[in-house]
């Protein structure tokens, strides 16, 4: 017998009903919540307690949701999608070819032609008061850092 190449499957998740083994705890929690939520009401539908119906719907819904999230999607698709929707674009940037609207930076677009500036960079004009304020803030920050580092250098002997 000759040796045949084998692709190891030990790193792939165990999948039951299309749901990975790491997601079954969430399915169990959702199912328990669906069962326990209508218990105080004590209602019945077609002579069957309401919690049996809600348990069945919650279980089927959670399995369907995890199938939708996993099948045909890249790993961690849902977490990336939620971060992209909830966080600011500077904390979690959108992908360049994504569906999020691009940014309109007026100072990058030439006012006369309406085209982006590619040949020369023209920063927006800054007022004298703004410049002085920025320089003063920078000086204060540098002095605070120097005092802090000097105090640390003197105490490390």
Say whether pLDDT at 138 is over 90. no
Dist. CA 81–CA 83, nearest whole Å? 6
What's the chain's average pLDDT? 77
Q: Which pTM does this prediction carry?
A: 0.50
The stretches of the chain forming alpha helices (DSSP H) are 24-36, 50-70, 77-86, 128-155
Per-residue pLDDT tens over the stretch 47-101:
888 889 999 999 999 999 988 888 878 877 888 888 878 877 666 655 555 565 5
Residue spans of the domains in the chain: they are 15-86, 128-157
Neighbours of 84 (CB within 10 A): 16
Dist. CA 34–CA 51, nearest whole Å? 7
């Amino acid at each position: 017998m000759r040796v045949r190449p084998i692709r190891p499957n030990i790193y792939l998740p165990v999948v039951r009903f299309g749901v990975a083994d790491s997601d079954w705890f969430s399915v169990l929690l959702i199912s328990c919540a669906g069962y326990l939520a209508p218990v105080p009401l004590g209602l019945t539908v077609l002579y069957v307690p309401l919690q049996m119906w809600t348990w069945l719907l919650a279980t089927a819904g959670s399995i369907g949701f995890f199938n939708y999230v996993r099948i045909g999607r890249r790993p961690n698709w849902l977490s990336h999608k939620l971060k992209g929707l909830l966080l600011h674009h500077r904390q979690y940037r959108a992908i360049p070819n994504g569906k999020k609207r691009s940014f309109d930076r007026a100072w990058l677009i030439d006012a006369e032609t309406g085209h982006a500036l590619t040949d020369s960079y023209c920063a927006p004009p800054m007022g004298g008061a703004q410049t002085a304020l920025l320089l003063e803030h920078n000086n204060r920050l540098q002095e605070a850092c120097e005092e802090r580092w000097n105090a640390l250098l003197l105490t490390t002997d």
